[in-house]
Amino acid sequence: MISMTINGKVVKAEKGEMLLKVTRREGIDIPALCHHDAVEPFGGCRLCMVEITKADWDGWKNYVTACLYPAEDGLIIQTHSAKVNELRKGVLDLLAARCPNSPEIRELAAEYGVPQTTLEEVPDADNCIMCGLCTRVCERLGFKAISTVGRGHSKQVAPPLNEAPPDCVGCISCAQVCPTNVIPYKDINGKRTIWEKQFELIACKECGKHTITTDFADALCERRAIPRDYFDVCDDCRRKELSLKMGSIVAWSREGTS
Amino acid sequence: MKQRLYVKPELCTGCRTCELACSFTNTVDGKPRRSRIYPLPAGYPDMYVPVVCLHCDDPACAKSCLVDAITRNEETGGMELDQDKCVRCMACIAACPFGCALLDTQYDQVVKCDLCGGDPVCARFCPTKALECRPAVLTTRKKLAGSSS
């Protein structure tokens, strides 16, 4: 255990833990768009910048991304100093110019004093901030169906060759973790469409409620050795099944004792 | 010490106190629909079963979680879901053979019983002790076979 000072408060942390994790545990709100605990820290959005210094640094300060900086003994951290807020404002100004139509970005930018971007807005903006969280999560899940393609201005998140991705199983984790909700998917009549690929949703045998896609269930059965019939019935019907089964056991034991 | 939540349907009166206790402890607004425990009719007159996560020894939810967000808390023995790690792929909800991983539609997140960190509130409030939390007594098949011989 080491101790650091965050905004004047002494905080205990494990050595090597990332600063963002420590501040979140302490309930300090640091904005971060590209971070998700399921994947390795990335440092893409640069919004989690904090000011660090140490007593023996002779007043020198450093500005680092909290998601990528490991905790050290004796660090003095400022999460919302004037300079840090200025840095975040600059980043949000750029993001607001890139994604002028994204409500999430606009809200965050307004919070840091950027109600309107001072730069020229990107024409035909698509709200993607290029943080790559969707591709990293997809890789973490082991499907690797999408990736960033192109460099510079033409960089975008896309399946290989811009065709329906063969490795995608339709788990929609990419859409769920996207910080600006830009990945579209549709669940209509037991069919799910994402990345222009269509999937069949499993319909509950009892009530017909749709759960996950058949491809995802097959992948789970194969990789995690889960019996395929676990996916046949929805959670509501499973609970009813369990209560009826336990009820019959209780009734049976009552008969036996009386 | 590892805890187990013992469910005894023969003592349950279906008063739904556990549901209220759970929803007021674990959710913001205490809606009974958001509870992690469901007292359901058991198909016989005046018989109810509080259906709650059984914290299986070989849990399908943890096996189905590809980002390992569901892990066993070795202190309490309960399977806990790390909300920050969850990517909401809903695999655990579909995989649980007892339907005890739930989707909170209001906040769009997966929720499940976590034994309230070792002291389940539902068991504390249960008036008939149909729910009881006590240290786990492991009676595996091997042990049972050994004791009978």
Nearest to B71 by CA among A246, A38, A185: A38
Split at pLDDT 50, 70, 90, the class of A137 is very high
pLDDT above 80: residue B141 = no
The CATH code of the domain that includes B127 is: 3.30.70.20
Q: Per the structure, how many domains does chain A have? A: 2
User: Is A51 part of any domain?
Assistant: yes
pLDDT above 70: residue B42 = yes
pLDDT above 50: residue A88 = yes
User: Is A247 part of any domain?
Assistant: no
* Interface mutation target, options A17, A238, A253, chain B, most CBs of B under 10 Å: A238
Overall average pLDDT of the B85-93 stretch: 90
The CATH code of the domain that includes A34 is: 3.10.20.740
* Predicted local confidence at residue B30, as pLDDT: 81
Check: CB of residue B136 under 8 Å from CB of residue B77: yes
Per-residue b or e along B128-148, where b marks 16 or more CB atoms closer than 10 Å to that residue's CB: eebbbbeeeeeeeeeeeeeee
User: Is A111 part of any domain?
Assistant: no
Would you call A142 and B66 a contact, using CB atoms and an 8 Å cutoff? Answer: yes
Would you call A247 and B60 a contact, using CB atoms and an 8 Å cutoff? Answer: no
Would you call B98 and A211 a contact, using CB atoms and an 8 Å cutoff? Answer: no
* Predicted local confidence at residue B143, as pLDDT: 57
List the domain range (segments joined by +) for residue B69: 3-148
* Predicted local confidence at residue A258, as pLDDT: 55
Instruction: Describe the crossing of helices A103-111 and A82-98 by its angle, rounded to 10 degrees.
Output: 150
The four Cα atoms B120, B122, B125, B126 give a dihedral, to 10 degrees, of -120
* Predicted local confidence at residue B78, as pLDDT: 86
Sort out which chain A residues have CB atoms less than 8 A from B81's CB and list them: none
Q: Per the structure, how many domains does chain B have? A: 1
User: Is A219 part of any domain?
Assistant: yes
Would you call B89 and A176 a contact, using CB atoms and an 8 Å cutoff? Answer: yes
Nearest to B53 by CA among B78, B22, B29: B78
Split at pLDDT 50, 70, 90, the class of B1 is low
Would you call B94 and A235 a contact, using CB atoms and an 8 Å cutoff? Answer: yes
State the Cα–Cα distance between residues A203 and A197, nearest whole angstrom.
19
* Predicted local confidence at residue A51, as pLDDT: 92
For residue range B68-77, list pLDDT tens digits in order.
Answer: 999 988 888 8
Check: CB of residue B54 under 8 Å from CB of residue B70: no
Strand, helix or coil at A239? helix
Nearest to A168 by CA among A190, A135, A191: A135
Q: Token pair for residue A228?
A: 């395929």
The DSSP result for A176-187, as a single string, is HH-TT----EEE
User: Is A110 part of any domain?
Assistant: no
Overall average pLDDT of the A157-181 stretch: 89
Strand, helix or coil at A108? helix
Rg (CA), chain B: 16
Strand partners, A51: A63, A78
**What number of other Cβ atoms are within 10 A of residue B99's Cβ?**
21
User: Is A223 part of any domain?
Assistant: yes
State the Cα–Cα distance between residues A104 and A90, nearest whole angstrom.
17
Sort out which chain B residues have CB atoms less than 8 A from A242's CB and list them: 49, 51, 98-99
- Report the residue from A173, A225, A243 with minimal CB separation from B89: A173
* Predicted local confidence at residue B140, as pLDDT: 60
Is the minimum CB–CB distance between A246 and chain B shorter than 8 Å? yes
ipTM metric: 0.84
pLDDT above 50: residue B149 = no
Nearest to A246 by CA among B126, B38, B142: B38
User: Is A101 part of any domain?
Assistant: no
List the domain range (segments joined by +) for residue A216: 133-237
User: For residue B57, what is the DSSP state?
Assistant: S
